[in-house]
């Protein structure tokens, strides 16, 4: 992505930071051997759509060959109030968000042209947990190991490795990029509208649990506890203690690994998770359901359903094919 | 030596080459060799690998390769695997045990029936092998803990523990690198932070290295903390393996 020097002083100034607003892209993929989790947007679909609406192209990560999205602001439940200074830009918000520009209602899923001095307020997220704000040309941030994603606990990525704070100045890379996209409208894509169980493949340590416990895991309705953040969600429901014990020799985690610690309350590992963990994992969430999981919040209820890996792969490939085709149409 | 292993699905996100519930230096060396072989093979669609004590996870994107194809490729690679030994580094890591630096130290000593000095003597005696870097950036997992010091993890994890914590969980001991949740017992603290994004390289101690702990007092700890560019000392050792 080119950076035009003239535009370096166009920036958003943070008037209020929102509950937890961080810069996120597709994540720091392939660094797990250093203990670095992927981080990245919890709802990768909304990330891609926000960028497409303002014309931000993906870049190819040379190391792993995966596509890297431009960094966007991930907003949690209550969003930030931002004042644009130094010039104009184009933004798009995805997610079920209540958006105000200079105090007037504005639309999500639409590329909005903002003028110097405008105030953008993502007041709250109505359904789901997160909304995403992309700006044409992206935010000026230095990637660490191939990603600008913020990992607050390690103080890396994003803006000074932390969530937004009052008075932060978020410089824009090249705000001219989105100009031709102003007014573009996208589909109201909301993963949280899909009301069906979260699909999992059992394992890799499901043999730690009796058949009765696995049946209970699959038949129960679980509630996400207040201890739910970008690192993981704790669930309340029937107790699921293992007959064999709750210590394993530390083993790799994936985003969506369902771990059962000694108190029997499942923890679903999310994007800022540890790369490894020492609790047995009863199941792993499939790729196609991760974005939907990422839109869940404390108090939400969920059930699990088992499918086989080949079926999960088909769901993911179909989802990706349809989504990429849609984004390509938007870019035309 | 090829250990017994299984390849299990991690949904449609990855596969786990798993040697099961064991902490064994030969198994860990085989895992390290497997990780190098998978990395070198540059299989299209593989987007990350994580070697641990006892397993190697291989993350993939099914748009580029199916799990079936991936497992077949991995089985071929693993059948031809040879484990070679190479020299490794041994780090000297200073630790303050107990007190505010290790809030579980007295409880763990009590639980194990050891006095303070005997615990420290046993914990500082071995050369530990770095069995993996995992959980958090630069978090060091060590193998070779004295069997007398094994202590089960806490039932419910703490949500915050400080960077540089030296802890014990089950038969493992570790050096934490950043503030993190933990279900392990906190024994002490080192001024070494194994992950610092601004430093080159960001991570000092790597998988396959060795570590020896050295007990220091609070004043020494504070003195080291005040030296901005201080790094722990290390030396080359041959790879006959740490004492077990």
Please give, rounded to a whole number of angstroms, the shortest distance from the CA of B124 to a CA of chain A: 22
Chain A residue with CA closest to B32: the answer is A33
Put simply, whether A257 touches B (Cβ < 8 Å) is yes
Hey, what domains does chain A have and what are their CATH numbers? 5-189 (no CATH), 194-321 (2.40.100.10)
Chain B residues with beta carbon closer than 8 angstroms to that of A315? 12
The residue written with tokens 């993939």 in the block is B60
Distances (CA, A) of B170 to A178, B26, B146: 54, 20, 11
B135 closest CB neighbour out of A261, A275, A310: A275
Residue A81: pLDDT over 80: yes
> Chain A closest CA to B98's CA: distance in Å?
24
Using the 8-state DSSP alphabet, how is residue B195 labeled? B
- Band (pLDDT 50/70/90 cuts) for residue A28 is very high
Region B183-194: mean pLDDT is 94
Q: Is the ipTM of this complex over 0.90?
A: yes
Instruction: Give yes or no on whether B6-79 and B88-237 have one common fold.
Output: no
- Could you give the CA distance from residue B74 to residue B47 in angstroms, rounded to a whole number? 14
Q: A32 and chain B: CB distance < 8 Å anywhere?
A: yes
Q: pLDDT tens digit string along A161-178?
A: 999 999 999 999 999 988
Query: A246 and chain B: CB distance < 8 Å anywhere?
Result: yes
* Three-state secondary structure call for residue B145: coil
Which tokens sit at B198?
Answer: 């601004």
Q: Quick check: A40 pLDDT over 50?
A: yes
| Residue A63, pLDDT score | 62
Q: Are A117 and A77 in contact (CB under 8 A)?
A: no
* pLDDT surpassing 90 at residue B86: no
Q: Residue A234 forms beta bridges with which residues?
A: A267
Phi, psi for B214 (deg, rounded to 5): -135, 120
A41 pLDDT more than 80: yes
Q: Give me the phi and psi of B30, to 5 degrees please.
A: -65, -40
CB contact under 8 Å between A156 and B137, yes or no, is: yes
- Residues B200-227 have a mean pLDDT of 94
Question: Which residue among B133, B197, B203 sits closest to A156, beta carbon to beta carbon?
Answer: B197
Confidence class for position B180, pLDDT limits 50, 70, 90 = confident
The answer to whether the beta carbons of residues A11 and A171 sit under 8 Å apart is yes
CATH fold of B88-237? Cyclophilin (2.40.100)
pLDDT in tens, A131-164: 999 999 999 999 999 999 999 988 999 999 999 9
Please give the share of chain B, as a percent, with pLDDT higher than 90: 77
Q: What are φ and ψ of residue A60, in 5° steps? A: -90, 125
* Alpha-carbon gap: A167 to the closest alpha carbon of chain B (Å): 24
Report the candidate in A168, A147, A171 with the shortest Cα–Cα distance to residue A157: A147
The topology (CATH level 3) of B6-79 is Gyrase A; domain 2 (3.30.1360)
* Domain assignments of chain B as residue spans, ordered by start: 6-79, 88-237
Nearest Cβ partner for A154 among B52, B57, B137: B137
CA closest to A288 among chain B residues: B12
Count of positions (residues) in chain A: 332
Mean pLDDT of B196-210: 90
A221 interfacial to chain B (CB closer than 8 Å): no
């Amino acid at each position: 992505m080119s950076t035009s020097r003239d535009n370096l002083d166009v920036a958003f100034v943070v008037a209020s930071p929102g509950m937890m607003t961080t810069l996120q892209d597709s994540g720091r993929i392939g660094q797990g051997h250093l203990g670095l989790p992927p981080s990245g947007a919890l709802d990768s679909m909304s990330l891609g759509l926000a960028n497409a609406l303002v014309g931000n192209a993906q870049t190819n990560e040379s190391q792993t060959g995966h596509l890297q999205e431009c960094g966007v602001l991930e907003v949690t439940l209550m969003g930030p109030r931002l004042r644009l200074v130094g010039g104009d830009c184009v933004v798009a918000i995805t997610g079920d968000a209540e958006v105000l520009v200079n105090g007037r209602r504005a639309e999500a899923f639409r590329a909005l042209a903002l003028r110097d001095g405008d105030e953008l307020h993502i007041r709250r997220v109505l359904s789901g947990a997160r909304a995403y704000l992309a700006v044409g040309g992206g935010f000026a941030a230095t990637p660490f190991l191939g990603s600008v994603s913020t990992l607050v606990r390690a103080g890396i990525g994003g803006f000074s490795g932390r969530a937004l704070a009052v008075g932060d100045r978020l410089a824009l890379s090249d705000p001219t990029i989105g100009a031709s996209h102003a007014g573009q409208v996208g589909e109201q894509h909301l993963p949280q509208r899909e009301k069906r169980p979260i699909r999992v493949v059992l394992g890799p340590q499901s043999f730690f649990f009796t058949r009765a416990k696995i049946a209970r895991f699959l038949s129960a309705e679980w509630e996400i506890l207040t201890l739910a953040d970008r690192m993981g969600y704790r669930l309340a429901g029937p107790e699921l203690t293992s007959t064999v014990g709750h210590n394993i020799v530390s083993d790799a985690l994936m985003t969506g690994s369902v771990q059962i610690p000694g108190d029997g309350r499942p923890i679903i590992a999310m994007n800022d998770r540890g790369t490894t963990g020492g609790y047995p994992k009863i199941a792993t969430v499939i790729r196609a359901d991760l974005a939907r999981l990422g839109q869940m919040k404390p108090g939400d209820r969920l059930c699990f359903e088992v499918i086989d890996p080949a079926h999960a792969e088909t769901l993911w490939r179909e989802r990706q094919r349809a989504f990429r085709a849609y984004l390509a149409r938007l870019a035309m | 030596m090829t250990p017994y292993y299984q390849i299990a699905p991690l949904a449609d996100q990855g596969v786990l080459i798993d040697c099961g519930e064991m902490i064994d230096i030969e198994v860990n060396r085989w895992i390290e060799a497997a990780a190098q072989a998978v990395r070198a093979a540059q299989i299209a669609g593989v987007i990350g690998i994580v070697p641990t004590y006892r397993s190697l996870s291989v993350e993939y994107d099914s748009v580029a390769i199916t799990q079936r194809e991936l497992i077949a490729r991995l089985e071929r690679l693993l059948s031809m695997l040879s484990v070679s030994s190479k020299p490794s580094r041994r780090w000297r890591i200073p630790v303050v045990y107990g007190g505010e630096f290790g809030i579980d130290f007295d409880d763990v000593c009590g639980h194990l029936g050891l006095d303070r000095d005997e615990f420290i003597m046993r914990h500082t005696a071995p050369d530990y092998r770095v069995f993996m870097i995992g959980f958090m950036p630069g978090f060091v997992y060590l193998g070779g803990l004295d069997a007398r010091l094994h202590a089960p993890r806490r039932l419910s994890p703490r949500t915050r523990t400080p960077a540089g914590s030296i802890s014990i969980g089950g038969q493992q001991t570790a050096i934490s690198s950043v503030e993190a949740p933990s279900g392990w017992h906190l024994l002490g603290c080192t001024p070494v932070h194994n992950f610092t994004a601004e430093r080159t390289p960001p991570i000092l101690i790597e998988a396959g290295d060795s570590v020896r702990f050295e007990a220091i007092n609070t004043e020494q700890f504070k003195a080291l903390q005040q030296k901005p560019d201080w790094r722990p000392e290390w030396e080359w050792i041959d790879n006959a393996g740490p004492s077990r």
